[in-house]
Amino acid sequence: MEEELKKERKKVILSGIQPTGIFTLGNYIGAVRHWGLMQEEYQCAYFVADLHSLTVRQEPAELRRRTLEAFALLLACGVDPEKSLVFVQSHVCNHAELSWILSCYSPFGALSRMTQFKDKAAKHADNVNAGLFTYPALMAADILLYQPDYVPVGEDQRQHLEFTRDVVEHFNGIYGNVFRMPEAYIAKTGARIMSLQEPTKKMSKSDTNPNAFITILDDPKVIVSKFRRAVTDSETEVCFREGKDGINNLMSIYSAVTGMSFEQIEHDFEGKGYGDFKAEVGSAVAEKLRPIREKFAELMADRSYLEQQCKIGAEKAAEISARTLLKVKKKIGLLLP
């Protein structure tokens, strides 16, 4: 039995993040923090989804800079290129190629029902392009090329993963077992971090109010001051309860960065005011992010190292993804060169 277990392949995890700005504390606590922690147990692949960012107009120099920064941020947050596959999506042309093929297996009706498409089309009414519409086919290609078992995604990407699963069913139904069926990966502590100014809204790096979000590179003083201004309620008790959205959010953040349970937090802050609590959350977050900020600065100062890691990652990713792509081409009847 033990022998058999040893032979079993490590489960594969894959996820991507768009290079649309410095990650927020929400991206970190809800997603990227786990990416580093999962490397021991799983075979992981993480990438910077720069092609997805093209669905909204980008300033070229800025996109280039942000892509390299996002790559460096992944490493700074604990993704280890020795253990995991880390790369930039556009460096591996197999993604775009499989995306085209899968778009021919993506029903128009299903694409039209994607809530993200509807939201973004409304928000960028002057640029409702075909890429915005076929975005889920590219995401399905990203995923299926690496045959992952699990895909950690936030609530907002759930529907795209469901779409991918439908593509697998459809495609495998015609051609046999080509793609492994991916499952959503739900983190054990899947805290959803909310805006510090409107705690019923998700924390977002595109919020127009900079006090609403913390980026993982914010200066410690800025972090403390943003927490001091965080919106709470008119009560005084630090406890997790329905309706206390601001305090609940601060408690989730504090619990995530200190590892303390809600009961412990409530106990520690009994009889103290919100002011004390906010100050403590601010300094705990600033401390937690310090090594990330330092590591990021170190990485950005060594551009040749970063570029070399991008290249190594892209080569490995190309090799792995080529196997799936070849299998697909054979199955669907493309003449191989």
Give me the least distance between CB of 130 and ligand TRP, in Å please. Answer: 17
For ligand TRP, the binding residue among 12, 74, 137, 143 (CB under 6 A) is 143
What secondary structure letter does DSSP report for 194? B
The answer to whether 215 contacts ligand TRP (rule: CB under 6 A) is: no
For ligand TRP, the binding residue among 13, 25, 48, 49 (CB under 6 A) is 49
Q: Which is nearer to ligand TRP, 133 or 274 (CB)?
A: 133
The answer to whether 129 contacts ligand TRP (rule: CB under 6 A) is: no
Number of residues that bind ligand TRP (CB under 6 A): 13
188 is annotated as an active-site residue = no
The answer to whether 153 contacts ligand TRP (rule: CB under 6 A) is: yes
Give me the least distance between CB of 42 and ligand TRP, in Å please. Answer: 14
Q: Which of helix, strand or coil describes residue 45?
A: strand
120 is annotated as an active-site residue = yes
- Please identify which residue in the block is written with the tokens 């100050």: 279
The answer to whether 244 contacts ligand TRP (rule: CB under 6 A) is: no
Say if CB 25 and CB 253 are below 8 A apart: yes
Q: Which among 10, 83, 188, 202 is annotated as catalytic?
A: 202
Q: Which of residues 315-334 bind ligand TRP (CB under 6 A)?
A: none
For ligand TRP, the binding residue among 39, 94, 147, 157 (CB under 6 A) is 157
The answer to whether 151 contacts ligand TRP (rule: CB under 6 A) is: yes
For ligand TRP, the binding residue among 12, 13, 15, 117 (CB under 6 A) is 15
Say if CB 70 and CB 108 are below 8 A apart: no
Sheet holding 150-152, edge to edge: 85-88, 43-48, 12-17, 150-152, 183-185
Tokens, residue 198: 């409107």
Distances, alpha carbon 313 to alpha carbons 74, 80, 91, 99, 306, in Å:
13, 11, 9, 20, 10
For ligand TRP, the binding residue among 29, 139, 224, 292 (CB under 6 A) is 139
Sign for the CA dihedral angle at 98, 100, 105, 111 comes to: positive
Tokens, residue 125: 């009414």
Q: Which is nearer to ligand TRP, 14 or 310 (CB)?
A: 14
The answer to whether 45 contacts ligand TRP (rule: CB under 6 A) is: no
For ligand TRP, the binding residue among 85, 114, 137, 142 (CB under 6 A) is 142
Q: Which among 83, 205, 316, 331 is annotated as catalytic?
A: 205
d(CA 93, CA 87): 12
Sign for the CA dihedral angle at 209, 269, 254, 215 comes to: positive
Say if CB 278 and CB 230 are below 8 A apart: yes
The answer to whether 12 contacts ligand TRP (rule: CB under 6 A) is: no
6 is annotated as an active-site residue = no
Q: Which is nearer to ligand TRP, 91 or 244 (CB)?
A: 91
What secondary structure letter does DSSP report for 89? G
Q: Which is nearer to ligand TRP, 120 or 288 (CB)?
A: 120
Say if CB 16 and CB 46 are below 8 A apart: yes
Say if CB 185 and CB 175 are below 8 A apart: no
For ligand TRP, the binding residue among 12, 13, 16, 238 (CB under 6 A) is 16
Nearest to 25 by CA among 161, 198, 221, 226: 226
- Please identify which residue in the block is written with the tokens 């759930």: 158
The answer to whether 18 contacts ligand TRP (rule: CB under 6 A) is: yes
Residues lying near ligand TRP in the complex (CB under 6 A): 14-18, 49, 52, 139, 142-143, 151, 153, 157
Residues with active-site annotation: 120, 202, 205
